[in-house]
Each structure stands twice: as structure tokens, then as C-alpha cells.
Copies of this chain bind each other. A is one copy, B any other.
């Protein structure tokens, strides 16, 4: 944060419901926000994030573009009334977040800020020396590639991140847009094609059997059926692959077709049947069939079983089908990426899909908050256009809403994700960047003076060292050190008594070696540089 010139602030954990209503983020349905009122019935909330507060604060203090760029951050407790709090610090209702807010006077300055923040974030994650993925988090509707997520791959993760073996194509599965994408394809066609029926050739891998997946609209009137390749062959494989529907992709297609899907309904067909049988409105019940690009489209709708079941005829129902994304010529892709699928962004890559934990998020907000909360600066036209670094006095002054960014790192969640990732049956294992100490020196009884010499020699080369001088046995102390997870241990024991050697241990790298007092600093620094 210092490298960005960001100033540390500390905003109240309590915010005002009125302010959040002004920004449009608090409605009756905002179930994740803890609300309360004070003794005078003023309505408050426990802030899950602080865009509203910081925008109105900065807006009230900043009048000229000369104060920009302005970057402020805090590391504070945030609150969210999670429907399913679980996995300890990984998804709690109180959590510690570092949140950075940035303010610029035009988009091009804001994009420079965004790139600077993205660089700082990769520096932070690099320092942990644990592999992470930076996933694009836009699908075109946020204004360009201006949102990124930072993930650890983890079996405990609730996201799924898809990445290519060859190019830098990385994205969160929930951002699947429901369209097929092929390398070198142009998406610009706006031709609305005719329907292709079973005579047409189906591209892509050979589908062995189809599956059908259902969902229902919020109003209960529309039953959506997705026809997808349940088993299909992959290039270069002889075993068929079982595929699953990506509900985010289906939702994207449905939304584009004007249908508001409710993915929380567990039995959509039963619910729709009940709706059809009890309906009083004049609106006809509707069935929409979506066809994945790998499924042949039936010329006659396969409705008969369903109609028989509910006691209707085809004229009682409004039926339609889609095999292209509404408004485009793109075919539909309803299924989740399977390991080994081809990449859509490069010729040679294969995709992998992994469960992942999201630890950070950078976001260009534009004027989403600054407009409604009146956070503006005056700037002269030449500066605004970028045609002059310090605008000529003759140029006209404009009042413009600030271009904002928000950028978070989940601090408590990161601690938990690192712990999960590196712990082994003996205990925790901390990366050097967040370890309580770099090195623990553990002497046996009677060797305290040697241990102190080691402590002094390591601290003199800026290694953050702990000397465990507690009055306990060596076995207990080593077990305790393993539990806590110091990156490196230096054991002063029998080796010293016999040969004046020290045992250096690093559980994470599988190292256990005897070294002399002289070579200790070099050995320790060599290990730490990998941790």
C-alpha cells in the first residue's frame, strides 16, 4: 500500500442505512447486511465494505483535481450475515479485510491506477510464494478487462477457476457467458440465423448421450430445459467424459432471453406443474428449451411426456427453443469445463478447472458511487482530455464525478487459506512473509549460551529469530515449534555436544541437515529465500 502512496484510514464499522439506500445497495432484500437501530431509532448497519462511506468522505474533502490521485486503505473488521457461515475464517460473518479505494479525475488516470494496484497485488501474492491464479472477472458488461480476482487453488474453495495450460486465459467459472467461443472466432456477427434441426452437422466432440437439466423462473411460469451432452468424447481420449451443466451459463442465456431464473428451486418441474395446474392468470405457461452446441436439435419439440404428465395439450403451453445466444450468432455452451477441454483463446492449450479460494479482488468502479453521492472535482478541460499535464489557465473548468476503484484482500481468509494449504499432520507451515518468526532456535538444557550466540548471529543479518528458552524438554519444544509452524528450526542438541554442529530443519522443504556455526547464516538464508 505504501508503494502506491496510499494513506491508511480507519472508518467506522457502523454505517448508515440511509446512505446505503442513496447508493441503491440497500433494499428490503439485502439479507446479507446486519441492521440495527440506536436508542433514537436511527437506522444503522454493520458495513460489509465501505464504498459509500469513503465516497461521501472524500467527496466532502476534495474539490480540485490537484488533490488526485487519492488512494486510501484500511485493515478493519467487516460484517456479512452469511446464509451459510462455515469453514472457520474462510467464510465467517465477521472478517478482517484490507480495502483500498482510489480516486482519479478521468478514465485514463483511473486505468493507470488500476494497473498500479494490480502490480502491487501481484507483489503481495508473490511474496507468499504459493501459486495463485489471477482470473479475469469481467464478461464485457463491466466496461473492459477491469476486474480481476486472486485465487489459491484449494479443495476447500467454493469457486471454480478455469485456466489454460498454454496461454494466460484464466477465469472464474461463474463468469461463463453461455456462448461457445472458438479460437480466432469473431463474435461480431449480429445475423439472427434460422434454426438448425437434426439434419445439420453438430460440431465439436462426439456426444454419446444427452442429458436434460431443468430450472424455473422466479414467477413460476417458465420451465427452462437445457439439453446438454451428458457423455461426450474429448480430443485424444478414448474414454467418454461425463459433463455437468454450468448453471451460471444457463442463467446468462436465460437473462438475455428475458427470463429471470430462480436457481434456488430444488424441484423445478414439480413447482412448474403445480403452477400450471393451479393457474388463474391468463398468461400461458411457458417452456423454453436450450440446446447446447453439441446436442442435435429436435425438429418436433419433445414435449409429449411432459404434457401427458400434467394433463395439458400443446396449445395450452407457449413453447420456444433456442440454439443461439439471443441477439448473436453464437451457439450455446451449457456445460462446465472439463479438464482437457480445448482453450478458446489459443490454438494449443488445454483447460483445467480447479476449486479455488478467492483472496483478493481489484475493481474499476468508474463513477458508480461518485455520481449518486456527489463526489466531484473541478478540472480544466485540457487536463481532463489529457491534452495538457498542467492545464492552461484559459481552459474551461469542468466539474466531474471522480473515477473510482476498489480493491480488497481478505486478510483473515488469507491466513486460513495459507494454513489449509501448507499444514501437514505435524502442524502449520507459514510462508516467511506472514510467519510469526523466520527461525526458532531450540536448545537442549545446558546449551543456552550457544543458543544465544546463534540468536545474535541471525538477528545481526536481519533474520527475525525466536529463542525458545522455556524450561521444557527438547521433544516438547520441537513438537510445539512444529505445531506453530516456524519456517526454519535450528536445533542445538547432541550434534553440538559431539561435533559442534547444529541441526537445521525445514519441514516444508523436507530438509534436515547438520551445519557448522559458521555456515549457519548462509544455510538459513538459502532456505528462507525459498519460503
Q: Which residues of chain A have a CB within 8 Å of any CB of chain B?
A: 12-14, 31, 34-36, 38-39, 46, 77, 79, 81, 83, 93-94
Contacts and interface: CB of A to CB of B under 8 A. Distances in A.
A118 to B, nearest CB: 27
Q: Give the 4 A-B residue pairs with the shortest CB-CB distance, closest first.
A: A36-B36, A38-B81, A12-B94, A39-B81
A14 B38 CA distance: 16
Nearest to A96: B10
Contacts of A81: 38-39
A81 B93 CA distance: 22
A391 to B, nearest CB: 19
Contacts of A14: 79, 93-94
A94 B39 CA distance: 15
12 contacts: A13-B13, A13-B94, A14-B79, A14-B93, A14-B94, A31-B39, A34-B36, A34-B38, A35-B36, A36-B46, A38-B81, A39-B83
A234 to B, nearest CB: 43
B34 A93 contact: no
Contacts of A93: 14, 38
A79 B13 CA distance: 10
A280 to B, nearest CB: 31
Copies of this chain, how many? 2
A93 B38 CA distance: 10
A13 B77 contact: yes
Contacts of A34: 36, 38
A489 B46 CA distance: 42
Given A13-B77, A13-B94, 13 more contacts: A12-B94, A13-B13, A14-B79, A14-B93, A14-B94, A34-B36, A34-B38, A35-B36, A36-B36, A36-B46, A38-B81, A39-B83, A77-B77
A416 to B, nearest CB: 14
Nearest to A94: B12
A38 B81 CA distance: 6
A36 B34 CA distance: 8
A81 B14 CA distance: 12
A242 to B, nearest CB: 36
A79 B36 CA distance: 13
A183 B520 CA distance: 70
A80 to B, nearest CB: 10
A200 to B, nearest CB: 48
Contacts of A36: 34-36, 46
Nearest to A38: B81
Nearest to A83: B39
Contacts of A35: 36
Contacts of A31: 39
A413 to B, nearest CB: 15
Contacts of A38: 34, 81, 93
A210 to B, nearest CB: 39
A267 to B, nearest CB: 23
Contacts of A83: 39
A94 B53 CA distance: 16
A222 B35 CA distance: 41
A39 B81 CA distance: 7
A36 B43 CA distance: 11
Contacts of A12: 94
A417 B83 CA distance: 42
A46 B12 CA distance: 13
A120 B12 CA distance: 30
A83 B40 CA distance: 9
A12 B94 CA distance: 7
